[in-house]
Structure 1
């Protein structure tokens, strides 16, 4: 298996009423998050990564009518959690994460990839932010207060 590229996306899926979708990682019970995922190739545009990851993790088409994918032009650089360092090339310790929002008209049941996620929840903004295990994910959820579809 080739090492992961330390460039990823975080896609906060939400409704106009600021209900936020969180999914629980299959490999880490209690780790709730928005859609995340790394680029497949160094030259893959972040937007293409976001569209692909949303599809792979939820079955949602980010480009479907009524869905609005927005690049927030925000990047977080964070230290990779020790339990996931083995996925990256030796010496890689930090990841750059590009943040997107995906507004959909209303909450829907998504089709989770069982290898990656085990459960889903739609929550009000503040509850979702409190449940996120990643500080950058919680911060992104809270940013929704200043962003509307």
Structure 2
């Protein structure tokens, strides 16, 4: 069990990154709310931490997609795939307070979610203010986080799958 932090449990330093895309290589990007501590415009794919230590990666990915976009990964035409890629990176200093003392690294598991071109997106207004579809190369260029851009650059290998 995680220790309390300001009355809330510490975040688990394991997260998912889900690249949502269409068969034609259009990638969905979400604009973070301004409360992200980074300032400026912050575009990203769906991301989020596990809620409990033993939450399966696949469950975390499906939950985060639903929470952030309203897309059900089990809907007709949707296919959630574990890309079997992991990133390990330092947690941004402005977010370290969310984690247990001494935790400074995060492990991120990468997934892809192929969706039909007509999928409806419903943003969680507490997390995101806008969304946009971009060709995969342009989407990679717009991402704030290098690991997100790199994940999107892997997309062509999964378009024909």
TM-score exceeds 0.5: yes
Find the aligned partners of 2:101 and 2:32 in 1 and give their Cα distance. 24
Pairing 1:107-122 to 2, within 5 Å after superposition = 107-122=118-133
Q: Is the 8 A contact 1:10 1:99 kept in 2?
A: yes
Q: Which runs of 5+ in 2 are unaligned?
A: 1-7
TM-score by length of 1: 0.96
Q: Tell me, which stretches of 5 or more residues in structure 1 are unaligned?
A: none
Across the two proteins, how many residue pairs are aligned to each other? 149
The aligned residue for residue 34 of structure 1 is 45
Residue 129 of structure 1 aligns to a residue whose secondary structure is helix
Displaced runs of 4+ in structure 1, greater than 3 A? none
Given the alignment of the two structures, is residue 51 of structure 1 paired with residue 58 of structure 2, yes or no? no
Counterparts of 1:32-111 in structure 2, within 5 Å, are 32-111=43-122
Give the equivalent residue in structure 1 for 2:17.
10
**Aligned partners of 2:118 and 2:60: how far apart in 1?**
23
- The Cα offsets for residues 51-99 of structure 1, whole Å up to 9 and x where unpaired, read as 0000000000011111000001111001111111111111110000000
Q: CA deviation at 1:108?
A: 3.7
Q: CA RMSD in A?
A: 1.0
In 2, distance between residues paired with 1:107 and 1:83? 37
